[in-house]
Structure 1
């Protein structure tokens, strides 16, 4: 059980490190493999994946980011077992089965609570991981909140701890959205355009700026190396701005 606890922490850190900062963990060792031949629904690994299935399907669909996270989770968990291919396949089967219904959610939580009864912080980390999965598409629906809340209650997570985790994720993604909006606004400024310009106007402005700042053209005008370097940097900025706007507009 100690191994799976450390594994869960490792998985949390792996995904959260990409987009979400949490406290630092040290001395995590995952160099010991266990062999498990029993029913994974009596093991922390299987119970975690079962709850992931409930959360992932709470809003009726599994987005690309959720699917990618699930795929890596199956791999990361199974590679810490001697019989990893067998474990990975069983985890996939558990996920496929458990995503079909929410009826046994509390029953699964009760099992997980029994095997983690003396490890409150472990259960908090499990909730944190499940919330990370729910928030990963940047749309934490009311249904996802209700499922997460039910799981937290069944795992006997203190209300204050649950709300603190939800608030941390909400604040993080709110800040990320604000930063994205600022980046988009700046991109329009760089392209000497505005959000009301149609795609053709945007493209014309982009081409005009490329011609104006292309290092080959600047070099051909007899500019000094410092000006050429400045033009190269400016062109990169123009290209990045254009890509941001294209991605936002879906063009």
Structure 2
């Protein structure tokens, strides 16, 4: 069973999206302080991001359980950067539900996103990395998912070499995971630091705490070096695998 890999890359996605804006700053996600929404949310970076998430999640005709979990966490974290976070999250959810029903405006949304990040190529590259993570999260990268992420990357003016490099990295990672020995149940409980008699609610609480503790995007925001960020990402992959194994064992 595929584990919930790279979860941390989307819990606080907005850390990728926050630097060096000179115009229309109110249209950008701004972590670290609550912002008040000005204008329509669909035209804000948050709305555009969620719209592109919806296109990729539904590209193969279905939204898997893992994709749904990742999307839910992302909606919550983005909404928490706004005042009236609960209301904003509902609006973001509505955007997601609406945009997953059509692909006709995909390139238009991507081009609108470019206008908000014209001088920040790494920001757009980070968005593509996130979208690829979403596409790969269930362990499969379908032809439809490749087509739509490639189209979005082109519309975001991400060069093909960078796109292919990211795809190859995800493919190599999943290939390696498939050849590794499966984690034992005892190791999974030990890794999460809970006993086998713990309730699933206790396991889930501990899991979420560990995800926050080893969040590479948070470390990135704190100025941590790449080696530390890479170690945190690897650790979270193990945590996610352990959680999925325990979840299956408990029949939830």
Q: TM-score higher than 0.5 here?
A: yes
Maintained 8 Å contact 1:34/1:80: yes
Question: What is aligned with 2:93?
Answer: 92
2:35 is equivalent to residue 42 of structure 1: no
Provide the C-alpha distance between the structure 2 equivalents of 1:80 and 1:16, rounded to a whole number of angstroms.
17
Q: Secondary structure at the match of 1:50?
A: helix
2:120 is equivalent to residue 127 of structure 1: no
Q: Which stretches in structure 2 are left out of the alignment for 5+ residues?
A: 1-5, 12-29, 186-244
2:8 to 3, 12, 15: 15
Question: How much does 1:42 deviate?
Answer: 1.2
Pick the structure with greater CA Rg: 1
Provide the C-alpha distance between the structure 2 equivalents of 1:101 and 1:17, rounded to a whole number of angstroms.
23
Question: How much does 1:37 deviate?
Answer: 4.0
Maintained 8 Å contact 1:123/1:155: yes
Q: Secondary structure at the match of 1:183?
A: coil
Q: Deviations over 1:45-87 (max 9, x none)?
A: 1100000000000011111110000110110000111121121
Provide the C-alpha distance between the structure 1 equivalents of 2:92 and 2:38, rounded to a whole number of angstroms.
13
Question: What is aligned with 1:183?
Answer: 182
Q: CA RMSD for the aligned pairs? A: 2.4
Provide the C-alpha distance between the structure 2 equivalents of 1:77 and 1:66, rounded to a whole number of angstroms.
16
Aligned residues: 166
Provide the C-alpha distance between the structure 1 equivalents of 2:47 and 2:168, rounded to a whole number of angstroms.
28
Provide the C-alpha distance between the structure 1 equivalents of 2:39 and 2:179, rounded to a whole number of angstroms.
48
Q: Deviations over 1:214-240 (max 9, x none)?
A: xxxxxxxxxxxxxxxxxxxxxxxxxxx
Question: What is aligned with 2:228?
Answer: none
Flag the 1:32–1:17 CA change in 2: closer, same or farther, 3 A. Answer: closer
Question: How much does 1:125 deviate?
Answer: 0.2
Question: What is aligned with 2:55?
Answer: 54
Maintained 8 Å contact 1:36/1:83: no
Question: What is aligned with 1:21?
Answer: none
Q: Which stretches in structure 1 are left out of the alignment for 5+ residues?
A: 1-12, 19-28, 188-243
Q: Deviations over 1:66-124 (max 9, x none)?
A: 00001101100001111211210110000000000100001101100111111100000
Question: How much does 1:40 deviate?
Answer: 1.4
Provide the C-alpha distance between the structure 2 equivalents of 1:58 and 1:36, rounded to a whole number of angstroms.
30
Question: What is aligned with 1:174?
Answer: 175
Q: Secondary structure at the match of 1:157?
A: coil
Question: What is aligned with 2:107?
Answer: 106
Question: What is aligned with 1:75?
Answer: 76
Provide the C-alpha distance between the structure 1 equivalents of 2:79 and 2:91, rounded to a whole number of angstroms.
9
Provide the C-alpha distance between the structure 2 equivalents of 1:156 and 1:104, rounded to a whole number of angstroms.
17
Greater length-normalized contact order (CA 8 Å, ≥ 6 residues apart): 2
Provide the C-alpha distance between the structure 1 equivalents of 2:119 and 2:126, rounded to a whole number of angstroms.
14
2:142 is equivalent to residue 141 of structure 1: yes
